[in-house]
Amino acid sequence: MTNDYGSGLLDARGRPLRDLRISLTDRCNFRCVYCMPRETFGPDHAFLTSDRLLSFDEIERITRASMRLGVRKVRLTGGEPLLRDDIETLIASLKKLDGLEVAMTTNGALLGDRAVALARAGLDRVTVSLDSTDPETFRRMSDTRVPVARVLGSIDAAAAAGLGPVKVNVVVRRGVNENSVLDLARTFRRSPVTVRFIEYMDVGSTNRWQHDQVIGAAEIASTIGAEFPLEPVPPRYAGEVARRYRYLDGGGEFGIIASVTRPFCGDCTRARLSADGQVYTCLFAGSGTDLRALIRSGADDDAIENTLRRLWSARSDRYSELRSHSADESPIGPRVEMSYIGG
Ligand code: SAM
Ligand code: SF4
Ligand code: SF4
């Protein structure tokens, strides 16, 4: 089968569809305070039952349809993607699709033992989330008993297995882990791992986000720059999400994702597929489009493609830009949780 790439499909703001984030489960073995606070995601929380999850075959069909509309890269995420059984089988089947890049974002707890198998299945790259190298700060931020040393070991194992260049995502939240910014910069300077600091975002509605908990890109860069002189690096391509900085002494680079202080909606080419088959055209959407119901009603691949085409053509989302211009800081109502929609 040949794929009709580059169909030129654009949304209502002229943005192509290029990336699909696929959530494999809404469950997680961590309870990060900014994502799945334990008071909401405790024993009484109703997670998706397995019959509601998309099967691997359904995920592959949706991916194939989205590739015909321009998708070149998928990122497996969640929840914690490594909690889904046998994802090596899914990765191997996605890698058979012509030219598709397959990446994964994980908290790293289960990655060390799986890195070689994931690489053998065809996974191209991993991003590991790690908010501090200090054991106590890590525990406070991620609310887990998994020791930080295990996540650090997973980063090394991933690099050794060929899942690089490994990226490390750090959510920076004032009052919790701002003192970890410099430690993380020090740890990964002069290493093949690229750290990306992420401004704390108002995703979902359970983390009780407040603007004053955000540490902006300028402050992150000046904190690191005070110890290690640096300069901004020009973007490699239009629409690069992370703003990159280079250490002047040759110690490498790091990135900052300034979703709050410098929104990049104008270049947003991502759709998200929840574990139960809802497609969302924005991380801050309140509702999605049910592809699982469509597939389970017997729809063929053309019907999936046409639904996606209609959805993307009508898309005009730019939530983060609206938030930055909004006096009340929250320009829309309730929205889905990041652990469900796929971070
Ligand atoms: N469990 C995996 C992990 O943590 O890498 C994958 C899913 S997680 C939702 C994906 C990414 O979203 C992580 O890097 C996490 O730090 C980020 N994230 C979650 N909540 C966030 C928030 N409120 N603001 C910014 N980033 C957030
Ligand atoms: Fe789990 Fe990732 Fe959310 Fe942390 S950020 S609670 S590891 S899904
Ligand atoms: Fe894309 Fe929505 Fe985020 Fe803007 S707010 S960058 S449209 S996901």
Domain ranges of the chain: 19-341
pLDDT at 322: 87
32 C-beta closer than 6 A to ligand 2: yes
**337 is written with which tokens?**
């949780």
Q: From the CA of 28, give the closest atom in ligand 1.
A: 1
Count CA atoms closer than 13 A to 107's CA, side-chain side. 30
Residue 341 phi, psi (nearest 5): -75, -25
Give the 3-state secondary structure of residue 295.
Answer: helix
Q: Give the predicted TM-score (pTM) of the model.
A: 0.95
Compute the distance from residue 284 Cα to the ligand 1 centre, in Å: 14
pLDDT, one tens digit for every residue, the chain (343 residues): 333 334 589 999 999 999 999 999 999 999 999 999 999 999 999 999 999 999 999 999 999 999 999 999 999 999 999 999 999 999 999 999 999 999 999 999 999 999 999 999 999 999 999 999 999 999 999 999 999 999 999 999 999 999 989 999 999 999 999 999 999 999 999 999 999 999 999 887 787 888 889 999 999 999 999 999 999 999 988 778 899 999 999 999 999 999 999 888 999 999 999 999 999 999 998 889 999 999 999 999 999 999 999 999 999 999 888 877 665 555 456 678 888 887 7
**323 is written with which tokens?**
């938030």
Report helix angle 135-142 to 148-160, nearest 10: 90
Strand duo 243-247 + 270-273: pairing: unpaired
Q: In 3D, which of 340, 278, 272 has the Cα closest to residue 26? A: 340
In what helix (H) or strand (E) does residue 280 lie, and over which residues does it extend?
Answer: strand 278-280
DSSP-assigned letters across all residues of 3-50:
-------B-TTSPBP-EEEEE--S--S---TTTS-TTTSSTT--PPPG
259 C-beta closer than 6 A to ligand 1: no
Q: From the CA of 142, give the closest atom in ligand 2.
A: 4
Contact 73, 18 (CB under 8 A): yes
Compute the distance from residue 243 Cα to the ligand 3 centre, in Å: 16
Residue 162 to residues 14, 54, 159, 165, 192, Cα–Cα distance (Å): 36, 29, 5, 8, 12
pLDDT at 324: 72
DSSP state of 276: T
Residue 91 to residues 82, 118, 121, 129, 301, Cα–Cα distance (Å): 12, 8, 6, 20, 20
Q: Which CATH code is given to the segment(s) 19-341?
A: 3.20.20.70
Contact 282, 317 (CB under 8 A): yes
| Amino acid (1-letter code) at residue 167 | K
Measured from CB, residues less than 6 Å from any atom of ligand 3 are 264-265, 268, 282-284, 317-320
Q: In 3D, which of 86, 88, 95, 106 has the Cα closest to residue 23? A: 106
Q: From the CA of 23, give the closest atom in ligand 1.
A: 7
Compute the distance from residue 258 Cα to the ligand 3 centre, in Å: 12
User: Residue for token digits 């983060």?
Assistant: 320
| Amino acid (1-letter code) at residue 132 | S
Residue 137 to residues 134, 339, 343, Cα–Cα distance (Å): 5, 21, 22
